[in-house]
Chain A
Amino acid sequence: MPYFGSEEMVKELKRALSNPHVQSDRLRYKNYITKVIRYMTQGLDVSSLFMDMVKASATVDIVQKKLVYLYMCTYASDKPDLALLAINTLRKDCADPNPMVRGLALRNMCNFRMPGMTEYIEQPIVAALRDKASYVRRVAVLGCAKMHSLQPNTEIDGRIVNELYALLRDPDPVVVVNCLRALEEILKDEGGVVINKPIAHHLLNRMKELDSWAQSEVLNFLLRYHPRSDDELFDILSLLDSFLQSSHAHVVVSTLRLFLHLASAHRAVQADALLRTSAPLLATCSAVSRELRFAGLCHVQQVMRSQPGLFATHYKRFFCGYSEPSYIKFRKMEILVELVNDENVSLVLEELRSYCTDVSPELAQAAIAAIGRIARTYSEKCLDILTGLLALKQDHITSAVIQTFRDLVWFCPQSTAAVCQTVEAGVDRPQDSEGKQALLWLLGAHGDQMGSAPYVMEGYIDGLKTELSSTVKMELLTATVKMFLCRPAETQDMLGRLLHYCIEEESDVCVRDRALLYYRLLQRGAEETRRVVTGPKSDPSMSVLTGRQEEPISEWASTFNTLGPLAGRDSCPQTDAISAADQPSYSAGEELLPGSEDVTLSGPGDTEEEISLSLGAPLSHESFEKMWLDLEILHRQALGVSRPRTAPDTLQASLQLEKIQTLAFTPADTVPWKAYIYTRSTGTLILAELLQGATDESLVLSVKQQPVNQHAIRRFVSVLKSVLQTLNLE
């Protein structure tokens, strides 16, 4: 209806509104005005009625007034000259004895979005700031902000700003908060409202009177305040203490954020605050409304980044209900994966297994991937479950299981044998392209352990003509070439056929180019090809051994209680599964270049402080060795610290935290002890050797670099030294 015959409709309304009979009958008149608003809501352009609506604003009926004002606010910017006609009525209302009428008129006058409005509203606003009714003051304070947003580029009126600061002491709590809001908007360019000590303390003392929305906002404003002393800090914290248990989830979360921020130097206080908010957070996670539940879960995830153990005993609370929407289920599964420990692993796996047969294929795949994540620690149990799932012979499940296998083998090489056995024993061919890619990658990377691998692959090569996805074709090329390198006799013929087809008949340019690349590579001999094509078969960072790092709270505290945690990762938990298909691209030639995304933006003339280290793409042993032999030692220095007595895993983990990757080290009891490490920084690759002659002797560091950048070396040495010193202290 809103779109057909709309012109007729508007004309009819216009006729009715200007009809004196209608105008004299108050009820009928109001009905027509209501109709206008209704059409406006539906998106009909009723701006041509502006004149008649302005006339209707001269009434004693407040409801009718409100409706007309709503109409005028919407269309004032289209008809500025006509809107000026209404201003007189509004200004008259601003002096009405009834505070409600005064407030209403002022609010709507400020809502008119048109240039030149300022001169009409400034005087009433300033007068209303001193009104005796708080209702009018509330409106006036926000009116200041609206006035500023009308002319954002004009100079800030110091008089109004001062008046607003003074109104922070107003007896009405909403006026106080509105002042903060208005000042924040007006002073945006200067960094927002200033929270000094008297203001901060004043706000803290008024907190209890505020409604929950205002509490939340004030807590956010208080983030800006830095207490002078520890005494003051603890006074503030004890004042805020009761808000950690507020009945409103958003107040709890805001308070927690402020706690974490203020107590950033006091680890114990932070931990205590987290512990005490765990109950309300959990309560939010089982709230009646799903949206709140979702928000709660997202925040629990954030907390778990630093304190993974906090919710471990409550893992059952994260079991999914049957009727919950999928966005909640995805989050719950992510949390469950993090909560697994020796005691609950079998129950959690049991639960996850029941999700694998869920009606929604997306959810089923996520559940399978979750089991895969747990398998990195508890391989055996999970592999049993995954193998069991293959027996269901469901396409989407099979495909997801194979993808999980691929990721598992990559992260956790010790499970390779079991996976190969399962795949060898016969799995259904996955039908979707992701599944095909995963299976092909497994066949290519570990073909030497599967007797039937070449025959499975042959099936794919024979069916190449009907294959649609070019990524599958490329994966097939890579896998076949890899297979050829380890089992040439069985593969040579089919590789020939594959290359012939891809070069001669394939229409996709990418696939053809890839085939040509391999073809030329093979012409240069098998050894050369091997050097380029075979990369590491598992994650060289050994993230499984070092476990998940507990991140410092400061990592996430700044985005806590914003939209960040909710948007964070996509609701699909598979994002960290690496695209193993692209593995061959880490070939020796490219490895010399630093990972482009890790290059921090800084020119050669930058100061030392701005240089940061980064991990970048992992180096293989061979290429490290080659480079180490090729390059000259640029820098040699005795570090003055001995080797930390900690376990080698800890050393590796703490270096990795500082973005230094460990390649290899000799066992702990050998003399001399050596370790090879590397890192990247602003476009350069730093290789280093740590050497300890005899026990308790100082470590000697030798550094090689390509290309040379002395700043980076100095930075690297200082980081390394500090890590070693900290470890020695422990």
Chain B
Amino acid sequence: MIGGLFIYNHKGEVLISRVYRDDIGRNAVDAFRVNVIHARQQVRSPVTNIARTSFFHVKRSNIWLAAVTKQNVNAAMVFEFLYKMCDVMAAYFGKISEENIKNNFVLIYELLDEILDFGYPQNSETGALKTFITQQGIKSQHHTKEEQSQITSQVTGQIGWRREGIKYRRNELFLDVLESVNLLMSPQGQVLSAHVSGRVVMKSYLSGMPECKFGMNDKIVIDKQGKGGTTDDSGKSGKQSIAIDDCTFHQCVRLSKFDSERSISFIPPDGEYELMRYRTTKDIILPFRVIPLVREVGRTKLEVKVVIKSNFKPSLLAQKIEVRIPTPLNTSGVQVICMKGKAKYKASENAIVWKIKRMAGMKESQISAEIELLPTNDKKKWARPPISMNFEVPFAPSGLKVRYLKVFEPKLNYSDHDVIKWVRYIGRSGIYETRC
């Protein structure tokens, strides 16, 4: 149960404050600002206890969102609720920034009114909320009978995530497999830890109440089918299937069916939503390898050479590649030479940032830098933070492939073939670090 919600900017000015329960006084807003936002030391914990009141906060860019309660609540739930709130706001006005919040503050108050009542979550699905709150505000006189009954059926309907009577001229669906690959590699090139956390995001524009079935190259399913088929078949698919460590689904997926048959079937919500989340740790295709070489020449000079190798099909192109090579605090000057892309020393970030727009697979590129150091009395050794990397590749590093997505709508006259389907794979870097 949440007693109140506050939104602050980075300076600690209150942008939104909504109190739901009496036990939260008006001074709670200030208590959080003084004790957390204006506190000198870094944040000790996302949960702060001030005078028997718990403040849960999350930060989005430089906006602080805080939920306040006096009850002994379930922390994971409050955090997930705050993320959900961010998602809802993002669905209404895009990025959560000070400017956007100021411009939409009436709308936010409206949302907060609907999402929570007396501190209890009521309705947090963007799709359903949009029937209550439209950007311009509904005028009660012009409210037609039809719309009213729609609201009623929507809020009483068995399926909370989809309303009846949706119609599209073109039945279309978009499927995005979004993965972020995380890596921690030792200077010797040994993988210390690697995992992929992926999401299957779907945008569906389908009429009626369609039943969908989603299939991917999940090892357990393929092995099961392989047993029934020829031996040749199973041998081939064994390589292509992937082992999923764990996966979770949107509430629309019938979990009982997944448990028994491992098939993913569901009635999709309308518009954009996240169908599933999964994680794999085995046989990950690491799109890039970073080979660092750091040499200390005397006390005032460092020589850094970094080679990156792309490790995927030559026909594919990686984009937005950025390599961040940290430099010591006492750097006085840097000379960089790189074969490809642009590299710059950014003194404010204590790093050399090397950007490459595009890079094909099975290529390699190199950067070398000479770093001049100021002599210091400080005996403190430079901690050598890891080299981190950002990129985007057009395939799924986990090896996940969508095998099919079938749509059945028995009541309306369109079949699986009439639906236009789009599938896209995007692999992004999560925390992709190589120690040096």
A binds B: yes
Which chain B residues lie closer than 8 Å to A321 at the CB level? Answer: 184, 431, 433
Nearest 5 CB-CB pairings of A with B: A247-B248, A63-B137, A250-B77, A250-B76, A213-B121
Which chain A residues lie closer than 8 Å to B118 at the CB level? Answer: 142, 145-146, 181
Tell me which of A36-44, A515-523, A542-550 binds B: A36-44
CB-based contact A394/B14 at 8 Å:
no
Which of B72, B139, B251: most chain A CB closer than 10 A?
B251
- Please, how many angstroms separate the alpha-carbon atoms of A563 and B197 in the complex? 27
CB distance from A607 to the nearest CB of B (A): 32
CB-based contact B77/A280 at 8 Å:
no
Tell me which of B92-100, B149-157, B287-295 binds A: B149-157
Q: A317-B193, A563-B73, A567-B47 are in contact. Are A279 and B113 (CB under 8 A)?
A: no
Which of A113, A213, A351: most chain B CB closer than 10 A?
A213
A-B contact list, 27 entries, CB within 8 Å: A34-B105, A34-B106, A41-B105, A60-B139, A66-B110, A98-B143, A98-B148, A100-B138, A113-B22, A138-B117, A142-B117, A171-B156, A178-B117, A178-B122, A209-B160, A245-B246, A247-B250, A283-B197, A289-B83, A290-B46, A291-B58, A294-B45, A299-B76, A326-B44, A394-B381, A562-B73, A563-B73
For residue A298, which residue of chain B has the nearest CB? B75
* B286 at the A interface (CB under 8 A): no
Which chain A residues lie closer than 8 Å to B125 at the CB level? Answer: 211
Which of B45, B73, B431: most chain A CB closer than 10 A?
B45
- Please, how many angstroms separate the alpha-carbon atoms of A537 and B151 in the complex? 75
- Please, how many angstroms separate the alpha-carbon atoms of A323 and B15 in the complex? 28
Which chain A residues lie closer than 8 Å to B152 at the CB level? Answer: 99, 132-135
Q: Interface size (A, Cβ < 8 Å)? A: 96
CB-based contact A107/B79 at 8 Å:
no
- Please, how many angstroms separate the alpha-carbon atoms of A246 and B77 in the complex? 13
CB distance from B181 to the nearest CB of A (A): 12
* B279 at the A interface (CB under 8 A): yes
Tell me which of B313-321, B341-349, B366-374, B383-391 binds A: B383-391
- Please, how many angstroms separate the alpha-carbon atoms of A392 and B15 in the complex? 48
Which chain A residues lie closer than 8 Å to B80 at the CB level? Answer: 212, 248-250, 292
Taking CB atoms and an 8 Å cut-off, the chain A residues in 377-426 that contact chain B are 392-394
Which chain B residues lie closer than 8 Å to A249 at the CB level? Answer: 76, 80
- Please, how many angstroms separate the alpha-carbon atoms of A590 and B192 in the complex? 53
Interface residues on B, range: 35 or more
Please pick, from B76, B109, B138, B141, the residue contacting A295 in the complex, using a CB distance under 8 A: B76
CB-based contact B109/A37 at 8 Å:
yes
CB-based contact B14/A292 at 8 Å:
no
- Secondary structure call for the A interface: helix
CB-based contact A359/B383 at 8 Å:
yes
Which chain A residues lie closer than 8 Å to B15 at the CB level? Answer: 41
* A234 at the B interface (CB under 8 A): no
* A561 at the B interface (CB under 8 A): yes
Which chain A residues lie closer than 8 Å to B214 at the CB level? Answer: none
* B296 at the A interface (CB under 8 A): no
- Please, how many angstroms separate the alpha-carbon atoms of A494 and B342 in the complex? 67
Residues of B at under 8 Å CB distance from A?
Answer: 1, 13-17, 22, 29, 42-47, 49, 54, 56-58, 72-77, 79-83, 105-106, 109-110, 113, 117-118, 120-125, 132, 137-141, 143, 148, 151-152, 155-156, 158, 160, 180, 182, 184, 192-193, 195, 197, 245-246, 248-251, 255-256, 259, 276-277, 279, 379-381, 383, 385-386, 388, 430-431, 433, 435
CB-based contact B46/A291 at 8 Å:
yes
CB-based contact B277/A247 at 8 Å:
yes
* A592 at the B interface (CB under 8 A): no
CB-based contact A62/B138 at 8 Å:
yes
Q: A41-B105, A100-B132, A142-B120 are in contact. Are A316 and B192 (CB under 8 A)?
A: yes
CB-based contact A38/B13 at 8 Å:
no
CB-based contact B156/A279 at 8 Å:
no
CB-based contact B248/A245 at 8 Å:
yes
Q: A41-B105, A253-B74 are in contact. Are A292 and B143 (CB under 8 A)?
A: no
Digit string of A165-183 for contact with B (CB within 8 Å is 1, else 0)? 0000001111001100100
Given contacts A41-B17, A98-B143, A566-B45, 14 further A-B contacts (CB under 8 A): A70-B109, A100-B143, A135-B151, A209-B158, A212-B251, A283-B248, A291-B46, A294-B46, A323-B431, A327-B44, A394-B380, A562-B72, A564-B72, A566-B47
CB distance from A83 to the nearest CB of B (A): 16
Which chain B residues lie closer than 8 Å to A98 at the CB level? Answer: 140, 143, 148
Which chain A residues lie closer than 8 Å to B195 at the CB level? Answer: 286, 317
CB distance from A393 to the nearest CB of B (A): 6
Taking CB atoms and an 8 Å cut-off, the chain A residues in 225-261 that contact chain B are 241-242, 245-250, 253-254
CB-based contact A280/B248 at 8 Å:
yes
For residue B246, which residue of chain A has the nearest CB? A279
- Please, how many angstroms separate the alpha-carbon atoms of A30 and B388 in the complex? 50
For residue A67, which residue of chain B has the nearest CB? B106
Which chain A residues lie closer than 8 Å to B381 at the CB level? Answer: 357, 392, 394
Please pick, from B74, B113, B160, the residue contacting A173 in the complex, using a CB distance under 8 A: B160
For residue B259, which residue of chain A has the nearest CB? A242
Which chain A residues lie closer than 8 Å to B138 at the CB level? Answer: 62, 100
CB-based contact A295/B73 at 8 Å:
no
CB-based contact B110/A211 at 8 Å:
no
CB distance from A567 to the nearest CB of B (A): 7
Q: A134-B152, A173-B160, A562-B73 are in contact. Are A101 and B379 (CB under 8 A)?
A: no
* A296 at the B interface (CB under 8 A): yes
Which chain A residues lie closer than 8 Å to B43 at the CB level? Answer: 325, 327
For residue A318, which residue of chain B has the nearest CB? B193
